[in-house]
Amino acid sequence: MNSSSIYSPALYLRHAELLREQVPSFGTYPFKLPVVRTLQKLVFEKQVTFLVGENGSGKSTLLEGIAAAWGFNPEGGTLNFSFNTRASHSGLYEYLRIARGVRRPKDGFFLRAESYYNVASYIDELDEDPSAGRPVKDSYGGKSLHEQSHGESFFATFVHRFGGQGLYILDEPEAALSPVRQMSLLARMHELVKQHSQFIIATHSPILMAYPGADIYLLEGEQITPVALEDTEHYSVTRAFMTDRRKMLRELLGD
């Protein structure tokens, strides 16, 4: 999207704009990604926005750039997390200008499935310092995230660490969650939205995309297009499979 209607005062992040004139080369990563190469401005108009698309479409790269431009650690966590396990993030954030809302969030978190283990390890390291005061894990339910299953630790963060009035940027949060837990996440998101929170989520989950009133942006080739849930491949393929799985399996397996 390249333009915006009147911004909602509930939004903390209004848009992210690529400073195209400062990009050194559109022939190098991440700027050579089709969706980045043509990016002008990505506008956020709702409290919940989903970025969807096939693997390799650039949604996680774009989300990471937005999170880092806001000030989050590219590997995830809160604004105060400064660890660096492996510098694998792109330099996209250096060329993004973000527009902040009139109100400042009181909370925030960048959750990315692929580096969540590193976040959990960093929390344990902080809690090993006896002079640090109250254990950080207390904000995550009082139990080390490494002492829980992957899904339990994800959900503990949503329930205990997310406090409302926050900006929450989530990269594939469904990765460790069962369908029932994904529905529970929807309910938790709704609680936080009512507490004046904003979510920007990259996902493959049609369950999460079903959040009422959310904007869904499809990243496909060079385009970022607003779509309805029913028009996403995620929804149509899942529905077709569950409606007639025998036919789909015959086509897939050739039997």
Torsion of CA 199, 179, 58, 73, to 10 degrees: 50
Q: pLDDT tens-digit profile of 209-218? A: 999 999 999 9
Q: Which residue has 């996902």 as its token pair? A: 203
Q: What is the CATH number of domain 13-228?
A: 3.40.50
Q: How far apart are CA 242 and CA 145, in angstroms?
A: 34
DSSP E strand stretches across the chain: 13-18, 41-43, 48-52, 96-100, 107-112, 166-171, 198-202, 215-220, 223-226
Q: Which residue has 């989950």 as its token pair? A: 205
Q: Which helix (H) or strand (E) holds 247?
A: helix 245-253
CA distances (Å), 200 to each of 123, 129, 151, 174, 177, in order? 24, 33, 20, 14, 18
pLDDT for res 2: 43
Residue stretches of the chain with pLDDT short of 70: 1-7, 82-89, 114-120, 122-133, 135-142, 144-145, 147-148, 150, 255
pLDDT for res 94: 94
Q: pLDDT tens-digit profile of 74-98? A: 887 878 776 565 555 678 999 999 9
Q: pLDDT tens-digit profile of 92-131? A: 999 999 999 999 999 999 988 766 656 667 666 665 666 6
pLDDT for res 176: 84
Phi–psi pair at 215, nearest 5 degrees = -90, 135
What burial letters (b/e) apply to 179-190, b meaning 16+ CB within 10 Å?
eebbeebbeebe
- Predicted TM-score (pTM) of this structure: 0.88
* CA distance from start to end of the chain: 44
**Positive or negative: CA dihedral 38, 32, 11, 156:** positive
| Strands 96-100 and 13-18, sheet pairing | antiparallel
Domain locations in the chain as residue ranges: 13-228
